[in-house]
């Protein structure tokens, strides 16, 4: 199969769809890989490494126009919509439930799209997990950084000091993101609460953290009480493929400490705070009613070398299956088929279909 790897052009995005090692594995299996010149520079992978791995270096037009399968990291932006075509398969993070223009473009061109974030293995999301792990850790780092007065914060050291209380960090959602955020925040000596709506997960987290963190069953009143005491709130709730539920409403902000920080890791799926809107690393924080919001949509893009390598460790086996035949790969794997979001002008993902009841779906 002819596989294309374009340069990521979303602002502040430096990751790349395939590493040279992944290209080598695909080329060794008899596939041809087209890599846009300079695609790996932001990650630290030079064109020479890709050439040595067996890739053919080319321009952006050929990558999109000749490829049968395009492998990206982030969803295409509007300037790339004109490159869509019916006989092309796109494999990337898509987050379509929060991206109507992209969804409509995929439907209009009848292009098949497979989203990393909805591929399943049992109950697990194997292609979302690597970036969730990194995003969770980065969220805790952001909590520490933006609590400092030099970054517009209230001047709190997240781990406190002898005789001085640590910051209160509340994590909403105890999945992969929330667990990683809580672990790193605890490592920084913050006082941490983790809330989750699943009692089964609450029991798992209680066993995991013991007495080091407060693990609570999530309900509206408990969330409200925790918000009132929080210095930082990390929103990490996830409904695979669907829009994130709004756990923090605008009216809650008046009950929070002035200058406290909301970190919305669910922003790719529309955000779990009602007052969130997407931001980037060039201007990551904004304020609503005295409460600061950090809503960077591509958090792992700040550590592209680590993130790309971690992502490829998970995605390469799926790329290899798709490269041997997309139809056969989807038919053979229910979990991979769950990643299919659009095909033939129809939405094929239940979560995305629920977000756009007026658009055609299967």
Active site residues: 95, 268
Q: How far apart are CA 81 and CA 14, in angstroms?
A: 20
Residue 233, beta-bridge partner list: 170, 262
Can you tell me the distance from the alpha carbon of 284 to that of 353, in angstroms, rounded to the nearest whole number? 30
49 vs 58: CA distance, rounded Å: 14
Could you tell me how far CA 260 lies from the centroid of its own chain?
24
Phi, psi of 140 (to 5 degrees): -65, -40
Residues 16/43, Cβ–Cβ less than 8 Å: yes
Q: Where are the alpha helices (H) located in the chain, listed in sequence order? A: 20-28, 47-53, 60-66, 100-109, 129-145, 176-187, 199-209, 220-229, 250-253, 304-323, 326-332, 334-337, 350-355
Is residue 48 packed enough to be buried (19+ CB in 10 Å), middle (13-18) or exposed (0-12)? exposed
């Amino acid at each position: 199969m002819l596989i294309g790897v374009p340069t990521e052009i979303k602002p502040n995005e430096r990751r790349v769809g395939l590493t040279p090692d992944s290209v080598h594995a695909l080329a060794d299996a008899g596939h041809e890989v087209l890599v846009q010149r300079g695609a790996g520079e932001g990650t630290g992978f030079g064109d020479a490494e890709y050439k040595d791995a067996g890739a053919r270096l080319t321009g952006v037009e050929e990558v999109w126009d000749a490829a049968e399968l395009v492998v990206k990291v982030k969803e295409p932006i509007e300037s790339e919509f004109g490159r869509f075509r019916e006989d092309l398969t796109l494999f990337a993070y898509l987050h379509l439930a929060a991206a109507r223009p992209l969804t409509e473009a995929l439907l209009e061109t009848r292009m098949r799209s497979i989203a990393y974030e909805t591929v399943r293995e049992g109950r697990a999301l194997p292609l979302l997990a690597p970036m969730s792990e990194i995003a969770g850790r980065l969220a805790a780092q952001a909590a520490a950084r933006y609590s400092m007065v030099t970054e517009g914060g209230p001047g709190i050291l997240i781990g406190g000091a002898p005789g001085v209380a640590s910051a209160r960090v509340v994590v909403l959602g105890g999945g992969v993101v929330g667990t990683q955020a809580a672990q790193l925040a605890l490592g920084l000596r913050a006082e941490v609460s983790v809330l989750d709506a699943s009692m089964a997960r609450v029991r798992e987290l209680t066993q995991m953290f013991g007495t080091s963190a407060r693990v609570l069953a999530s309900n509206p009143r408990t969330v409200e009480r925790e918000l009132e005491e929080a210095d930082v709130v990390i929103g990490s709730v996830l409904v695979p493929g669907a829009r994130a539920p709004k756990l923090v409403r605008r009216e809650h902000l008046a009950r929070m400490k002035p200058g406290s920080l909301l970190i919305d890791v669910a922003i790719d799926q529309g955000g779990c705070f009602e007052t969130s809107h997407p931001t980037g690393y060039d201007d990551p924080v904004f304020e609503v009613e005295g409460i600061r919001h950090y809503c960077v949509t591509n958090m792992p893009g700040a550590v592209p070398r680590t993130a790309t390598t971690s992502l490829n460790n998970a995605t390469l086996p799926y790329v290899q299956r798709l490269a041997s035949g997309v139809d056969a790969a989807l038919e053979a794997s229910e979990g991979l088929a769950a990643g299919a979001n659009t095909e033939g002008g129809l939405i094929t993902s239940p979560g995305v279909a629920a977000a756009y009841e007026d658009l055609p779906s299967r």
